[in-house]
Amino acid sequence: MYKYDEYDQAIVDARVEEFRDQVRRRLAGEISEDQFKPLRLMNGLYLQLHAYMLRVAIPYGTLNATQMRMLAHVARKYDKGYGHFTTRQNIQYNWIKLDEAPDILAELATVEMHAIQTSGNCIRNISSDQFAGAAADEVEDPRPWAELLRQWSTFHPEFTYLPRKFKIAVIGAEEDRAAVKLHDIGLQLHRNDAGEVGFRVFVGGGMGRTPMVAPVIRDFLPKADFLSYMEACLRVYNRYGRRDNIYKARIKILVHEIGAAEYARQVEEEWAHVKTLGLDAPAAEFERIAAFFAPPAFETGLSDTIDRSDPDFAVWLDQNVSAHKAPGYAVVTISLKPTGGIPGDATADQIDLMADLAERYSLDELRITHAQNVVLPHVRKADLYAVWQALDASGLAAPNLDLIGDIIACPGLDYCALANARSIPLAQKISQRFAATQHDLGELKLKISGCINACGHHHAGHIGILGVDRKGVENYQLLLGGSAAEDASLGRITGPGFDEDGVVDAIERAVDTYRSLRTEGERFLDTYRRVGMAPFKEAIYG
């Protein structure tokens, strides 16, 4: 894992002092809420329905046990004893007091954490593959590049007042676990025909009210030119992205309006100039960062055999444990989606427990996933049973990774000031309704957003649900056929919306249709793609 040096620490510490001063000026009445708003937003502090919400960055979703314990401590001391992991691999606290926010940032800084650029129209926290450095299908670990991007984007003088927020994801595998094509910029490390590793660059994906799957604007970007190329991509956007309409200000609209080829041409032209300015960090800097992500000292000669005699353990093993690149090791995903629970929520005690397990069994590493789960990336197969027992005793062993119960849901009307409808109670109902049948249904990604802003990624759900306001009543639209993976696609609306119970019934009719039509090995999404919307629509409304 990356470790701060004196420069990194000085920058984060300075930010704490800056924010403390800004809060002081606000509390003393020296600045108005209007003037304060852009300042607090740059520090991830939102004013929500009931209280302030603080979003803490977990860069590329990677953290160690000490940092995880700090998250538990913040939950206990400054919130109501829990935190909410988000679809951007961050954590949010929903019950924060303004005057305590600077103290929280100061405590976070002691463990090399911050809330820098977790909101505002700037380059947000960089996201990545939660299996980075562990995945069996990886070309190269993407995290050193993500860290380089984190540093480059932190207080970037030219790109702090972009037309709109800007999200970048980096992966290093063929399987896309980070939804790169639904980001403003998605970067995928891959090997070209000459055997060199470089980036495939996707630009202009996103959700929101105009969802788009990002086109490739450059198939192979040499590593050495990485930052200058990013600089060119951002400069074209900063200069020509729309600023007349907040709903058309994301880069996806620019790329869509002028076309991917024209955007790519403008970037190449800008890059030809920018490349000459010496903005790229030297190779030595990349190597310095990469050394922190060198593979940990995996033990050798470990057995791959796992005792499956406990049937409950075997179910979890088959569902939540993935292949690791080192023999004798496995990747564990801890589902934060217990039946009837709030997706992504964890109590302070649970966070502490996960930290303990990481320290003891996972080489002191944890990851947060965009599906709002937690990963122990390096667990010896021999320890899996002990890990499962500890998780099970704390309500963290839901064996439902990628099943219908593994719901992504935004905070919705229970917390969010922009919401049209509640997401959480609906997620709880769906999770209860399908608890018994979810294993038979297989991989089925269900995603819920409480309004058109799509924080719950409903466009990219195999089944998506969008909360809307229909004459003052909460109403839910149902979408089918979306995907955030390497086969990215956008869901289509089935037809008229439903009330809360109605949408759960409609989902049941949709999955029954799948069950009757599926062929051997077909996922819900595959069947939908093969047979189309018609049979589902008929079953739902017929």
Partner 1 sequence: MADPDQSDIGGEPKLRFRNDEPHEEPAVTLDSFLGQSNATAVRLESDEDARALLPHIDRLALVEVAFPKFRDGRGYSAGRILREAGYTGELRAQGDVLVDQIPLMLRCGFDSFAPEASVDAKTLAEALSRYTAVYQKAADARRPVWALRHG
Report strand pairing: 197-203 vs 216-222.
antiparallel
* Strand, coil or helix: 272: helix
CA distances from 328 to 139, 239, 302, 307 (A): 20, 51, 5, 13
Q: Output 4 or 220, the one with its CB closest to partner 1.
A: 4
Which of 123, 171, 201, 451 is close enough to bind ligand SF4 by CB under 6 A? 451
User: Which one of 344, 450, 481, 491 is in contact with ligand SF4 (CB under 6 A)?
Assistant: 450
* Strand duo 446-449 + 408-409: pairing: parallel
CB 408 within 8 A of CB 438: no
Contact 235, 279 (CB under 8 A): no
- 490 belongs to the binding site for ligand SF4 (CB under 6 A): no
Q: Which residue lies nearer to ligand SF4 by CB, 346 or 455?
A: 455
* Interaction between residue 314 and ligand SF4 (CB under 6 A): no
**Interface ranges with partner 1 (CB under 8 A):** 5, 7-8, 10-11, 14, 17-18, 21-22, 25, 35, 38-39, 121, 151-152, 154-163, 235, 238-239, 243, 273, 277-279, 281-282, 284-285, 288
Partner in contact with 410, chosen from partner 1, ligand SF4, none, beta carbon below 5 to 8 Å by kind:
ligand SF4
Two structure tokens written together for 56: 């803490």
What does 412 interact with, of ligand SF4, partner 1, none (CB < 5 to 8 A by kind)? ligand SF4
Tell me, residue by residue from 354 to 393, as one string, x for binding to ligand SF4 by CB under 6 A and - for no binding. ----------------------------------------
Q: To the nearest whole angstrom, how small is the minimum distance from the Cβ of residue 467 to ligand SF4?
A: 7
Binding of ligand SF4 by 466 (CB under 6 A):
no
Residues belonging to the chain: 542
449 touches ligand SF4 (CB under 6 A): yes
Minimum CB separation of residue 292 from ligand SF4 in Å reads 33
Instruction: Supply the minimum distance, in Å, between the C-beta of residue 119 and ligand SF4.
Output: 12
243 binds, among ligand SF4, partner 1, none (CB under 5 to 8 A by kind): partner 1
From ligand SF4, partner 1, none, which one binds at residue 359 (CB under 5 to 8 Å depending on kind)? none
Contact pattern from residue 397 through residue 416 relative to ligand SF4, giving x for each residue in contact according to CB under 6 A and a dash for the rest: -------------xxx---x
- Report the C-alpha gap between 454 and 409 in whole angstroms: 10
Residues 6+ apart with CB under 8 A from 475: 421, 467, 468, 469, 497, 498, 499
| Residue 111 touches which of ligand SF4, partner 1, none (Cβ within 5-8 Å per kind) | none
The region of 139-147, 191-199, 443-451, 480-488 touching ligand SF4 under the rule CB under 6 A is 443-451
* Amino acid symbol at 314: A
| Beta partners for residue 410, in sequence order | none
- Select the binding partner of residue 95 from partner 1, ligand SF4, none (C-beta < 5 to 8 A, by kind): none
Which range touches ligand SF4 (CB under 6 A), out of 58-66, 259-267, 312-320, 448-456? 448-456
Tokens describing residue 125: 């926290």
Phi, psi of 230 (to 5 degrees): -60, -45
List, in sequence order, every residue forming a beta bridge with 380; answer none if it has no partner. 329
Q: Pick what 453 binds: partner 1, ligand SF4, none; C-beta below 5 to 8 Å, kind-dependent.
A: ligand SF4
Interacting partner of 238 out of ligand SF4, partner 1, none (Cβ under 5 to 8 A depending on kind): partner 1
Calpha distance 513→536 (Å, rounded): 6
DSSP structural state of residue 210 = S
Q: How many CA atoms lie within 13 A of 447 on its CB side?
A: 28
Whichever of 133 and 467 has its CB closer to ligand SF4, that residue is: 467
Give the C-alpha separation, 480 to 461, whole Å. 7
CA-to-CA distance for 461 and 479, rounded, in angstroms?
A: 8
Q: How far apart are CA 53 and CA 71, in angstroms?
A: 14
CA distance 105 to 17: 9
Residues of the shown chain interacting with ligand SF4 in the complex, contacts defined by CB under 6 A: 410-412, 416, 418-419, 449-451, 453-456
